[in-house]
Amino acid sequence: MPLNIRTYHELTEPDRSGLGEQIAGQRRRLATRLAAVGRVIVVMSGKGGVGKSFVTAHLARALARAGRAVGVLDADLNGPTVAGLLEAGTARLVVGEDAVLPATGSDGVRLVSMAQLLTDGQPLAFKGPQAESFVWRGAAEAGALRELLADVAWGTLDVLLLDLPPGMQRFLELCDLLPAPPAVLTVTIPTPESRDAVRRALRTAQERGSPLLGVVENMVGGPFAGTAASDLAEEFGIPVLARIPWHPAPDTWHLLATRV
């Protein structure tokens, strides 16, 4: 005779451990922290090396110069670069009672990055058993991302820009963490190879219900040939927000800021 075992959801007695409630509490904390943020925008691309961090940093500065309150979260935990571009790579973070204060970078942009936390030249490494670390490393990185969103006193922001690493993993983690799918700004270079990689990213964002703000084509007029931005704009019905020349002028970023 099989044992008569009630299911997980049928057991509803309160328990001190309360793992489910602990997770729910994390979500509430994050939602509360971001309640004063007007818009969360992720800067992403399916491809590496197209200039996401470069675009993020200059867009943030242009928005700040236009009088907007801007924050940047460097979500590239393993290859953080945007903090250096905003001249706050070595800033020390002040620990408050229930949150860490973000550093202040160029043009007053509020910023938190793993670059500020790691020893120079060292990779992001976690304590714990290294054998089969693939089992828990993803969870650790997602946990770190959650804390950088929820445990930083971002304050009232018009825009919080998230600079993502290449690939889709971080975007999917954000979709699980945030109260609503974030708006997406994609960056490509002109080549067909970049177009194909960014297409996958846009498709993923579309499937998750993220508003697609448009595409920025970077490194235009240099050695990279192609029509990636136009192709993607037509395919997804989104605007080309900017074509950033190899040597951008200051008004390049100002124009981009007016379109975001």
Partner 1 sequence: MKFLCVECDRQMAFEERQLPGDGTLAAAFRCPKCGRAVALLTNPMETQLVSSLGVKIGGTTVPAEPLETIRGMVATGRDDAFTEPVGPSDGRTVGLSWSAEAQERLTRVPGFVRGMVKKIYADYAKERGIGEITPAVMDAARTELGLEGM
- Binding residues vs partner 1 (CB under 8 A): 3-6, 8, 11, 13, 15-19, 22-23, 26, 92-100, 116-120, 122-129, 131-132, 135-137, 139-140, 142-144, 146-148, 151-152
- What's the min distance (Å) between Cβ of 2 and partner 1? 11
Closest approach of Cβ 133 to partner 1, in Å?
Answer: 8
As measured in angstroms, the least distance from the Cβ of 220 to partner 1 is 37
Max Cα distance, the chain (Å): 78
Place of tokens 């099989």: 2
Tell me the backbone φ, ψ of residue 37, rounded to 5 degrees.
Answer: -100, 120
**Quick one: tokens of 127?**
């304590």
**Of the two residues 116 and 218, which places its CB atom closer to partner 1 in the complex?**
116
Which is nearer to partner 1, 5 or 35 (by Cβ)? 5
**CA-CA distance, 254 to 260, in Å (whole number)?**
10
Least distance (Å) from partner 1 to the CB of residue 180? 22
DSSP three-state, residue 185: strand
**Cβ nearer to partner 1, comparing 119 with 251:** 119
Task: Please report the DSSP string for 142-156 in residue order.
Answer: HHHHHHHHHSB---S
For residue 184, list its beta bridge partners.
42, 212
Q: 31 vs 212, which CB is nearer to partner 1?
A: 31
CB of 122 to partner 1, least distance (A): 4
CB of 39 closer than 8 Å to CB of 154: no
Residue 185, beta-bridge partner list? 43, 214
Nearer to partner 1, 8 or 209 (CB): 8
